[in-house]
Chains A and B, each alone.
Chain A
């Protein structure tokens, strides 16, 4: 026989063998027909084999819903059956069949409801697909989704914890000094930003206030932020001059394996018999503003180079005798570089808001943050840190 005639013979054989009865009985899916109420009137051999029952035990004796798990029955009655009656068709309903030996068979069910010419429900036809592997895969998928969600939640919680660690939420209470600070992370606040501030004692009546901004965001920036914050504390206990502390920070950051740089403004505050004496230094940071009486706020602290960029930077210092009623305002560039569309918040808006809030550190900080956030329609694109230190009126 030729190849062609062999092929033709095989074709005819398959055609004759797979008559409609064989096609129905041995289809690779379960077929069932039920009354509109669900009583099984017909089912194929594939389905009977899956269930482990003879036709005589099934037909006219049980309903499709009887073959489901109890939970599946509730689902059937509350979702599947109503949907079938409304739409005349449901698709890919996931259910578990209970076999005669008690084992479960996960299946997907498609069903159609046939009506007569008057619209009366006549018969429900179901095609049932073995979904064992698919269900296992879906469960894995679901577990993976849950794992991903919980990992994300852990990461967010870690970010929040780090944020709290890096930013002192409330500055300490210092006798005869009025201190307030605020920090607003950019966006939804779920990423650790690079802004930081700290106020800490280095002796009796001897304090350091620092504000800074490490470039960039995320964990890498957070590492540098932590390094800077702790290094400031370590340097400040052995170096009185802000410029020496800034030099130390610069050296540490240069030696650290990072391309990141940062900006810092540092104030050494000492109390003597005449009140508070402040020495200020900055490294690439907006100059702190001295708010005195009704005068225009005055930048002080010079303009030293960025920290972590140059080999031998030189920093300048400014000294100020703080008078009762004076306020020093420190802020990061998230304030002045706040954006609304192509508009910058800028120095003028900052000076304007300071003008109306010269009475206390807390009032000033709150007003600045509120104004910047208002300007950006409450959505800060960069972190905002603000720190104010004032000498209260007697």
Chain B
């Protein structure tokens, strides 16, 4: 099957523009980029996709063995780059997809021009002197949360998330799949996301990297963003005033501004 179908790839912007690939994080799908991606579609070839199991991806593409590690998801990204023949790629990854992008970059550095990591964390679990922000039992608690919520969703098929009749412009292309994932896949993906230790990979990243760090991010605290900046040679970090884990939703303008200079500047700019 085509990667474009498997991962629900959508492409916009000029065909000869520099490719800019946006990867959503754990929890939702490519619609997370709805306020940010269009700002780059004038001069970039903007590529959006859904991680396998999320949004409009093809569930049959999920392979419990391949997707038991983040490398499997990184290989999915590379599959998309190969199929669309994308080179000189600006890769924007949110949350776990920042690490997925790092793994893809380490595997095929020649394909990448720049990495933007929004709220990255190479490891969520505390480890001796490293503070990831969570204990292992917190992750089990998360799996419980997922289970409680998917139970209601799958059993009753009731839309847990309503579209807003007052803002019809939001409704049309946003299907009820937003923030939904097959429960079994979501559980495995939560494990892979939150129990992976990607710290050793960071030093191997050679592409110019920008870390976008929010104030007060529960999932990826400032110290973790700083760790990523320190670990990736030559990377830099911009701290946003935006709070929370999803600045591309809560403060899109600030996020766009922080990214623009970096992605439009020269190599290593």
When the two chains form their complex, are residues A90 and B219 in contact, meaning their CB atoms are under 8 A apart? no
- The yes or no answer to B45 lying at the interface (CB within 8 A) is no
The distance in angstroms between the C-alpha atoms of A74 and B139, with both chains bound, is 9
When the two chains form their complex, are residues A81 and B149 in contact, meaning their CB atoms are under 8 A apart? no
The distance in angstroms between the C-alpha atoms of A301 and B207, with both chains bound, is 79
When the two chains form their complex, are residues B246 and A82 in contact, meaning their CB atoms are under 8 A apart? yes
B215 smallest CB distance to A (angstroms): 10
Chain B residues with Cβ below 8 Å from A79 are: 27-28, 149, 179
The distance in angstroms between the C-alpha atoms of A91 and B162, with both chains bound, is 7
When the two chains form their complex, are residues A72 and B151 in contact, meaning their CB atoms are under 8 A apart? no
Which residue of B is nearest A108, CB measured? Answer: B152
When the two chains form their complex, are residues B145 and A72 in contact, meaning their CB atoms are under 8 A apart? yes
Interface-side segment among A17-25, A63-71, A173-181, A217-225 = A63-71
Which residue of A is nearest B249, CB measured? Answer: A85
1/0 contact string of B13-44 vs chain A (CB within 8 Å): 00000000000011110011010000000000
A40 smallest CB distance to B (angstroms): 14
A-B contact count (CB 8 A): 125
A84 smallest CB distance to B (angstroms): 9
- The yes or no answer to A86 lying at the interface (CB within 8 A) is yes
Quick one: which of A72, A73, A81, A83 contacts B178, CB cutoff 8 A?
Answer: A83
The distance in angstroms between the C-alpha atoms of A36 and B242, with both chains bound, is 11
Chain A residues with Cβ below 8 Å from B146 are: 75
Quick one: which of A81, A86, A96, A135 contacts B174, CB cutoff 8 A?
Answer: A86
A90 smallest CB distance to B (angstroms): 6
- The yes or no answer to B157 lying at the interface (CB within 8 A) is no
Chain A residues with Cβ below 8 Å from B174 are: 86-87
Which residue of A is nearest B25, CB measured? Answer: A78
When the two chains form their complex, are residues B134 and A70 in contact, meaning their CB atoms are under 8 A apart? yes
A44 smallest CB distance to B (angstroms): 23
When the two chains form their complex, are residues B179 and A83 in contact, meaning their CB atoms are under 8 A apart? yes
Q: Which of A65, A86, A92, A121 has the most CB of B within 10 A?
A: A86
Which residue of B is nearest A39, CB measured? Answer: B243
Report which B residues bind A (CB closer than 8 A): 25-28, 31-32, 34, 95, 134-135, 138-149, 151-152, 155, 158-164, 166-167, 170, 174, 178-179, 194, 216-219, 243-246, 249-250
Q: What are 9 residue pairs bridging A and B, where the CB atoms are less than 8 Å apart in the complex?
A: A37-B216, A70-B141, A71-B142, A71-B143, A77-B218, A78-B28, A88-B170, A89-B164, A141-B151
